Amino acid sequence: MTSALSRVHWRWEEKDFGFRFLSGTGRKKGEYYQAASAGEFYIVPAGQRKLAKNRLNELAKLVPAPSSPRIVPTPWSDYDRDWDWIVTTDCALLNYAGCLDREEIDRREDEGVARAMEFVFGLLDRPEPAPLTVNLVRQVHRALMGEIYPFAGEWRTVDLHKGDGPTRWPLPPGGIQPLMDLLERDVLSRSPLLSDDDETVFAYVAEVMCEILALHPFREGNGRTAFITGNLLLLQNDMVPLDVYDRWSDQARYFASCDSGRIHKDYAPLAGLVAEWEAAALTRWETSHDK
Q: How do residues 204-239 score in pLDDT, each as one tens digit?
A: 999 999 999 999 999 999 999 999 999 999 999 999
Laid out side by side, the sheet with 20-22 consists of 20-22, 8-11, 86-87
Q: Sign of dihedral through CA atoms 227, 230, 234, 235?
A: positive
Domain tally, the chain: 2
Dist. CA 291–CA 276, nearest whole Å:
19
Q: What's the pLDDT band for 261 if we cut at 50, 70, 90?
A: very high
Q: What's the pLDDT band for 247 if we cut at 50, 70, 90?
A: confident
Query: Does residue 94 lie within any of the structural domains?
Result: no
Give the pLDDT score at 149.
Answer: 83
Q: Global pTM?
A: 0.75
- Residues 57 and 125 reside in one and the same domain: no
The better pLDDT of the pair 71, 257 is held by 257
Q: What's the pLDDT band for 44 if we cut at 50, 70, 90?
A: very low
- Residues 241 and 271 reside in one and the same domain: yes
Instruction: Please check the confidence at residue 78 and state whether its pLDDT lies above 90.
Output: no
**Residue 184 maps to which CATH number?**
1.10.3290.10
- Residues 76 and 129 reside in one and the same domain: no
3-state secondary structure of 21: strand
Dist. CA 181–CA 192, nearest whole Å:
17
- Residues 218 and 190 reside in one and the same domain: yes
- For the beta carbon of residue 42, count every other beta carbon within 10 angstroms: 21
What is the overall mean pLDDT for the chain?
77
Range of the domain at 134: 105-288
Dist. CA 38–CA 25, nearest whole Å:
15
Dist. CA 234–CA 198, nearest whole Å:
9
Instruction: Please check the confidence at residue 32 and state whether its pLDDT lies above 80.
Output: no
**Which whole number is the average pLDDT over 4-20?**
37
- Residues 54 and 145 reside in one and the same domain: no
Strand partners, 86: 8
Query: Does residue 97 lie within any of the structural domains?
Result: no
pLDDT-above-70 percentage for the chain? 65
- Residues 128 and 204 reside in one and the same domain: yes
- Residues 260 and 126 reside in one and the same domain: yes
Strand partners, 2: 160
Dist. CA 218–CA 237, nearest whole Å:
27
Dist. CA 94–CA 76, nearest whole Å:
10
3-state secondary structure of 186: helix
Query: Does residue 99 lie within any of the structural domains?
Result: no
Give the pLDDT score at 20.
Answer: 40
